[in-house]
Amino acid sequence: MPEKLNIVPFVSVDNMMKLVIATGVERFLTELAGYIEGDFLRWELFDRAPRVASHSADGVIELMPTSDGETYGFKYVNG
């Protein structure tokens, strides 16, 4: 089994549908709201940085990184 730090799950529409169906819509939304609320309550712990953008003929590619000092995450947008 790979180390935890080596696992980067991709959040596809198909994977999200499977998760919501397995969890149940009401439970999924309730738990998601709890995680979002928890993150906002510790907002000051997050390192916030401007978006990193690259421009191409096909549009903009943006990387939006953040960390709470323990976990690193990012959102990647191509548009």
pLDDT: which is higher, 47 or 79: 47
pLDDT digits (tens, 9 = 90+) for 28-70: 999 999 999 999 999 999 998 888 899 988 889 999 988 999 9
Mean pLDDT score, 19-31: 98
**What single-letter amino acid sits at 67?**
S
The encoded tokens of residue 41 equal 């309550």
Give SS3 for 67.
Answer: strand
User: In residues, how long is the chain?
Assistant: 79
Q: Which helix (H) or strand (E) holds 63?
A: strand 59-67
pLDDT number for residue 50: 85
